[in-house]
Amino acid sequence: MNLINSKFLFILSIVLSFVSFTACSDTETTDETDFALYYTGMTDIGPSMTGVISSPSYIGGQPSGFEIYKVTFDGEPVSGDSFSINQDDGAISISETAGMSVGLYKLSVKCYSNGKMYEYADIVEVNMMKPVPDGITVEPNKLTADYADVIDAASTVELPTAQVSTDGNHVSIKKYEIAKSEFSKYFEISQSGKISIVRGDATLVPGIYTLSLKLSTGANGEDEGIFENAIEINITSRPLELVYTPAAGKIEEESAQSGSTIFTSNAPALKGSVEGLSYSIKKVTPATDKILIDAATGVLSVNANHGFVAGTKYVVDVNVKNIYSEEGVDFVTAFELEVVEYIEPIQNFGYDNIDATQAVAFEGSPSAGFKGDEVRFEFVDLPAALQENVTLDHEGKISALKGNTIPLGSYTVKVKATNPKSDPNNPTIATFTLTVKENPNFFTYVHYGNNLGLTPSKDYANQYRAVNGAALTSDTPETDAKVALHYEMTNLHQTGSSTIDSSTGVISIASNSKNQCGIIVVTATAGKGTPEEFSIQTHVFVDYSVAVNGVKIEYTPFVLQVNPTKGGRSVSPVITGVADMTKLAMDYRRTFNYFNFYGTHTNGQPNVAGSFMNLVWKNYFDSMGSATNNTGSKDPLSYYVNAGKSSLDKALGYVDPASFEVVVNPNKWVVDGEPANGAMTGQITFDPAGPSNINNGGQTFPIVLWFDKNF
């Protein structure tokens, strides 16, 4: 099932480094669902870097005639040749960046669909960052660690670390972050600049990893820059796994071709370090010297005039060496080669056209009548929009997963098939058309509104206050779905036996006599049980507003929507039951729960090893120079503790004693370069007599911090 945040459209399964997603409305029509355009936008690009922003997705008729009609820099129009657009598919190229000013560029694009022009202001954002100042180094800038020690969570072997340093003359670093990448989660950096390897993640594979850093320095205020290729980390190991795909092949019992290669395997996939890599045949059963191996690639081959007899099957054991294994590692039965009387040449190779549906899985295999043995398949000039979404296996099956992001439209797909009987000068190529049509079940939002009187409702959606903890009923949700929806829900936190009407989406919120904030997850599904099934997740928040010790604290809104990289500040609460407000003290105290909505972070309180809260707690204590991650401490969120240490800027957040607004500091709710994408609830204690006994004051949960980098 494809789940999608109801607040943001079409963030499906794209995995890119530093990607923001921009959806824009049509400026010339009143029905915004007729046509809409969606770009993925690159951010965090350096002064010598180039890149391509892929063709946009869209709803409605296929667009064409793309044009960038305006570029702004920090809000002011600019001109130049750094941005160009493909008129046919809308792909945007970024080049000639060396002279570009540092700051935020916004691109406005227009296009045509069904003969009508559409304009989209500021649809793409590019953040040009400068390199970090001179004088910043990483020492050492190369680390080496043994794979076995890294993935073993119980290992006591000390792993190497590196330290980011400055020359001390003109640079001070305020914030350290590893630049986001597909492997950044395996490494971490403390707020004192120590780079280390995360232990215990078995998904790590041996190899050389080059990390870039994002650093905020004091050279010019709070400037942020990219330190490209700051450190190289080599995770070493002997050969661990060797896999040929396919792991078996056929060869004809003899060939008239003389001196040519008549069988060749695919190159194997190796798990292990590649330095000094060398392949050799350990043994062939039954014995023969006619099966050869390429020492550099591991490709197996057999030449003509081999003398093999049909009915014989050869089993090949392969030895693999690298610099971490002098004797090498033997992989038994790595490949099987069967001798047959006849290899069928390729005949009747083709594919039927594929009609697919937006974001729905599909597959296609060679058409009926196709014949051929030992066939290898490969794409020819695959369109860019398909390259991250479509796969081709060794049997010729073409497929895409549910949740794929292929834009609507038609694509010409070419597949080449070869086998030992093929003419290398005249390859067999099949061509077919893939057409991706609009999913009738596709929709973009479910909004519950609020009962707080906040407008516009969609900006403060999904917030309900249960006065004195009483039960209540939600509004009927608004949605742009064109078909009936099926609603399901999960009581994620403190909402007890709340239920949902599966056909209307109305939630019956159960009562709760405790002063808590609850969270409900609603899944709305169109076309449930069909291949075109499409779902959106919406989070609904409940404030069980109950007086504690005669005091009631109400934030309106009680959900603080905050971008974790920018930070934020809540409204001041309405407080009743306190005689002298000048004496009231409030402070975060305990029971800090994080609930991950999207991304890779782990739920839990600070004492849960590996959880998001555990890791941001660790970052805080690292920044304070503490060698211990005190997961039972309130310090990372305490105003009074950090004010006393002049370290409010290092806190994750706190309650401002002047206004009782909750402050979230920027870039503190980030782990492994990935910002928080979920919600945190924490107990706040209060004392009408002042802060001296604040830890033992009244206990309340009056506010939820909802993190999303798109806020």
For the stretch 306-347, pLDDT in tens is 889 999 999 999 999 999 998 999 999 999 999 998 888 999
**pLDDT single digits (tens) 355-385:** 999 888 899 999 999 999 889 899 998 988 8
Tokens of 152: 């073993």
Residue keyed to tokens 């040519």 = 260
Instruction: Using alpha carbons, select from 356, 346, 343, 342 the residue that is nearest to residue 415.
Output: 346
Portion of the chain with pLDDT greater than 70, in percent: 89
Q: Where in the chain is the domain with CATH 2.60.40.2710?
A: 19-128
> Which structure tokens are listed for 19?
């990607």
Q: Does 700 have pLDDT greater than 70?
A: yes
CB atoms within 10 A of CB 222: 12
Name the more confident of 64 and 1. 64
DSSP state of 184: G
Q: How confident is the model at residue 247 (pLDDT cuts 50, 70, 90)?
A: very high
pLDDT over 70 (residue 12): no
Six token digits for residue 414:
């070419």
Q: 596 burial class (0-12, 13-18, 19+ CB within 10 angstroms)?
A: middle
Please enumerate in sequence order all residues whose Cβ is within 8 A of that of 232, keeping only pairs 6 or more positions apart, or say none: 141, 142, 143, 208, 209, 210, 211
SS3 content of the chain, % helix, strand, coil (to 5): 5, 45, 50
pLDDT in tens, 547-563: 999 999 999 999 999 99
296 Cα distance to chain centroid: 35
Percent of the chain with pLDDT over 90: 56
Q: How confident is the model at residue 46 (pLDDT cuts 50, 70, 90)?
A: low
| In the block, residue with structure tokens 């608004």 | 478
Enclosing H/E stretch for 623:
helix 612-623
Mean pLDDT along residues 535-555: 95
pLDDT, residue 51, reads 64
User: What number of other Cβ atoms are within 10 A of residue 9's Cβ?
Assistant: 21
Query: Which amino acid is located at 294 in the chain?
Result: D
Taking Cα atoms as reference points, which of 9, 57, 41 lies closest to residue 105? 41
Residue 184: phi, psi to the nearest 5? -65, -25
Which comes out higher in pLDDT, residue 91 or 283? 283
Topology, domain 354-437: Immunoglobulin-like (2.60.40)
Beta bridge partners of 561: 706
CA dihedral of residues 644, 649, 651, 655 (deg, nearest 10):
70
Are 73 and 147 contacting, i.e. CB atoms less than 8 angstroms apart?
A: no
Q: How confident is the model at residue 571 (pLDDT cuts 50, 70, 90)?
A: very high
Cis peptide before 246 (omega within 30 of 0): yes
Hey, CA dihedral for 146, 147, 149, 150, is it positive or negative?
positive
Is residue 101 predicted with pLDDT exceeding 90? no
Longest dimension (CA), the chain: 103
- CATH number (3.90.79.10, 3.30.70.380, 2.60.40.2710, 1.10.1060.10) of 19-128 reads 2.60.40.2710
Rg (CA), the chain: 30
Q: Where are the beta strands (DSSP E) in 223-310?
A: 223-236, 241-243, 248-252, 261-264, 269-271, 278-285, 291-293, 300-303
Token readout for 705 is 């911090």
The closest alpha carbon to 41, from 75, 92, 87, belongs to: 92
pLDDT digits (tens, 9 = 90+) for 459-469: 888 999 999 99
Confidence of residue 9 (pLDDT cuts 50, 70, 90): very low
Map residue 147 onto helix, strand or coil.
helix
Burial class (CB in 10 A: 0-12, 13-18, 19+), 449: buried
Measured CA distances, 560 to 7, 271, 571, 588 (Å)? 15, 46, 8, 15
Strand partners, 195: 162, 189
**For the chain, where do the domains classified as CATH 2.60.40.2730 start and end?**
548-711
Domain with CATH 2.60.40.60 in the chain: 131-236, 241-340
Q: How many CB atoms lie within 10 A of CB 554?
A: 16
User: What is the 3-state secondary structure of 625-641?
Assistant: CCCCCCCCCCHHHCHHH
Q: What is the chain's mean pLDDT, rounded?
A: 86
* pLDDT, tens digit (0-9, with 9 covering 90-100), for 181-208: 678 889 999 888 999 999 988 889 999 9
Checking if the pLDDT of 32 tops 70, the result is no
Q: Given pLDDT bands bounded at 50, 70 and 90, which one contains residue 404?
A: confident
Chain segment 255-279, per-residue pLDDT in tens = 555 455 688 898 999 999 999 999 9
In the chain, CATH 2.60.40.10 covers 354-437
Domain 442-546: CATH architecture, name and number where available? Sandwich (2.60)
Q: What is the pLDDT of residue 18?
A: 30
Which among 72, 82, 133 is positioned nearest to 103, based on CA atoms?
A: 72
What residues contact 609, with CB distance under 8 A and at least 6 apart?
none
Q: Is the pLDDT confidence value at 239 over 80?
A: yes
Residues 6+ apart with CB under 8 A from 163: 138, 139, 193, 194, 195
Is 113 exposed, middle or buried (CB count within 10 Å of its CB: 0-12, 13-18, 19+)? buried
Average pLDDT over residues 83-99: 80
pLDDT: which is higher, 262 or 168: 262
Residue 709 has pLDDT above 70, yes or no: yes
The domain 241-340: what is its CATH number? 2.60.40.60
- What residues have CB less than 8 Å from 2, skipping those under 6 apart? 12, 13, 359, 402, 403, 533, 534, 535
Q: What is the rounded CA–CA span in Å between residue 37 and residue 29?
A: 13
The string of pLDDT tens digits covering residues 640-654 is: 999 999 999 999 999
Say what the pLDDT of residue 169 is.
Answer: 55
Q: Which fold has domain 131-236?
A: Immunoglobulin-like (2.60.40)
Say if residues 242 and 325 touch (Cβ distance below 8 Å).
no
The pLDDT value recorded for residue 280 is 97
- Residues 6 or more apart whose CB falls under 8 angstroms from that of 107 comprise 68, 70, 71, 83, 92, 122, 123, 124, 125, 126
C-alpha 301/C-alpha 33 separation (Å) is 57
**pLDDT at residue number 104:** 82
Residue among 642, 617, 619 at smallest CA distance from 630: 617
Lowest mean pLDDT among 119-128, 231-240, 582-591, 614-623: 119-128
Q: Which two tokens stand for residue 603?
A: 């739920």
Fold of 548-711: Immunoglobulin-like (2.60.40)
